[in-house]
Structures are given as structure tokens and as C-alpha cells.
């Protein structure tokens, strides 16, 4: 049995892996790296374009004695090799990420919602020839109290 948070992460990664042409503007979905830290493990030119995904923070609260609600922070980054118009390439990956997440905003009813929080774009990352666009999201979901394997789906 897989816990709900892992199911959410797997569903997100699956949605991002669908980013391929001709449905999308890029093929960044061919390379989706979970928890890849480009600072400690730099991206190679043959790995670009790509997407990295990681959880950032999580907060939980007891809604009732039997239901917990979690707010999960998520960072999804698109990376491209420096090119004539790096900013345009990054904007294409940004748009593809948003479109992919919008295809199923509840990830098959695993989450209540996915909401964008913040974005930043760097056309040169860490002195390398890599451009990066970072998108931060908030995801909200509910489980039964102290039951990370049991999604809560009933109305409150």
C-alpha cells in the first residue's frame, strides 16, 4: 500500500511526463527528475530540456477528530540549455507545466486543489549555460486522522 502523499507525487510526476510534442510545445517530459538538486548534482547538456520536482514544506491541521487536512508545498522547475532565446524556451516549458497540471487539477481526486504560488526565471543558473524557471504550488488534500494511507473523500 502506498501512502497518499506518495500517490500525489507519483500522479504529479506522471502528469509532467506527458509533456511531449505535438500536444505540448516542448519535450521536457522525457526527463522528469524527482528531488534532483541541480546545485549538488548539476544537469548535463544531454539531460536538457528537463523538469525537476520536489516537495518544499508541509503543514497539517486537524479538521475534526477523524480528519486531517494537509497543505503541501511543491516546486517544479523547467531547465533548458542556454540558446539564442533562452527566456522564450523557458516560457514554453512554464506554459507546458501549467497546462499539464490543469489537465486534472485534482490528480484523480487525490487532492482538493493545486494552486500556483510564485514563479521566478533565471536565464543563467549557477554560472552554467542552463536557464531555469521555478514554479511553486500549493496542494491541499485530506486523510483520515493519523492514517496516511486513507484518503478522506467525504464532505465535511
6 phi and psi angles, rounded to 5 deg? -65, -40
The structural domains of the chain, with segments of one domain joined by +, span 4-144
The answer, yes or no, to whether residue 126 has pLDDT greater than 80, is: no
Portion of the chain with pLDDT greater than 70, in percent: 96
- The CATH code belonging to domain 4-144 is 3.30.70.1700
In angstroms, what is the C-alpha Rg of the chain? 17
Distances (CA, A) of 47 to 21, 67, 68, 79, 114: 17, 42, 39, 9, 27
User: What was the pLDDT predicted at 128?
Assistant: 61
pLDDT level of residue 123 (50, 70, 90 thresholds): confident
Cell of 138: 500549493
User: What was the pLDDT predicted at 42?
Assistant: 85
User: What was the pLDDT predicted at 37?
Assistant: 83
The answer, yes or no, to whether residue 62 has pLDDT greater than 90, is: yes
Amino acid at each position: 500500500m502506498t501512502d497518499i502523499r506518495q500517490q500525489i507525487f507519483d500522479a504529479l510526476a506522471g502528469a509532467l511526463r506527458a509533456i511531449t510534442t505535438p500536444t505540448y510545445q516542448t519535450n521536457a517530459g522525457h526527463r522528469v527528475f524527482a528531488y534532483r538538486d541541480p546545485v549538488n548534482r548539476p544537469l548535463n547538456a544531454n539531460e536538457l530540456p528537463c523538469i525537476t520536482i520536489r516537495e518544499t514544506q508541509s503543514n497539517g491541521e486537524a479538521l475534526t477528530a477523524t480528519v486531517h487536512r494537509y497543505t503541501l508545498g511543491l516546486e517544479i522547475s523547467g531547465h533548458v540549455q542556454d540558446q539564442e532565446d533562452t527566456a522564450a524556451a523557458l516560457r514554453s516549458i512554464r506554459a507546458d507545466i501549467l497546462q499539464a497540471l490543469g489537465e486534472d487539477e485534482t490528480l484523480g481526486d487525490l487532492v482538493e486543489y493545486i494552486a500556483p504560488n510564485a514563479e521566478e526565471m533565471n536565464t543563467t543558473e549557477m554560472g552554467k549555460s542552463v536557464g531555469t524557471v521555478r514554479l511553486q504550488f500549493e496542494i491541499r488534500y485530506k486523510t483520515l486522522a493519523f492514517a496516511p494511507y486513507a484518503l478522506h473523500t467525504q464532505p465535511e
